[in-house]
Amino acid sequence: MLDFANLRIDNVDQLVSTLEDELGGVSTQWWNANKSVVAGYLRSLAEATLQTQVALTNQQIPAEAADMIMRNQQLAFNQTLQFTKFMTLVLAQQLLDATFRVIGWVIYNKTGVNLAPSLVQPAGTAAS
């Protein structure tokens, strides 16, 4: 459990590492399955967060502007979580297509019958 009251982050790497630990702590299974998709977005969030924090500290922006920026970040990360679900569906479709592309070619090569024209496209033919 993080000691939030004494959390002092000085650079992007520290924040990325802390966020990764926290997400992994919530669900190791989810983190392991999605870290390849999420890692880049998490770094972008960390970089932006430190920029906002420094700008706020240096009074380059008012608190209200920082609040708007962080709300946008929250919306974007919520979308990132949706994006991991989307990529799971895309992977399922790719696995389905890969499997039946092989099967379609197996049948086509022995019979000349193309049962999966969108997946099996012999030279000189076009997908339907």
Partner 1 sequence: MNLAQAIRTVGVAGLALALSACALFAPPYDATLDEKTTSAYESVAKLAAQAEMGLYQDKASYPATVDTYATIQGALAVVAVRAASAPVAGKRAEQARDMTVGFIKGCSAQVSGLAKLHQTYGVVPNTGATQAMMVSCDQAAKAVGAMKNN
Q: Give me the least distance between CB of 100 and partner 1, in Å please.
A: 4
By CB under 8 A, the residues from 1 to 40 that bind partner 1 are none
Q: Which residues contact 21 (CB under 8 A, 6 or more apart)?
A: 2
Angstrom distance (rounded) from CA 6 to CA 73: 23
Angstrom distance (rounded) from CA 80 to CA 54: 25
Q: How many residues bind partner 1 (CB under 8 A)?
A: 48
Sole window of 2-10, 14-22, 23-31, 87-95 interacting with partner 1 (rule: CB under 8 A) = 87-95
By CB under 8 A, the residues from 109 to 128 that bind partner 1 are 113, 115-119
Sole window of 1-9, 11-19, 25-33, 103-111 interacting with partner 1 (rule: CB under 8 A) = 103-111
At residue 116, φ and ψ (nearest 5 deg) are -135, 70
Angstrom distance (rounded) from CA 30 to CA 20: 11
102 near partner 1 (CB under 8 A): no
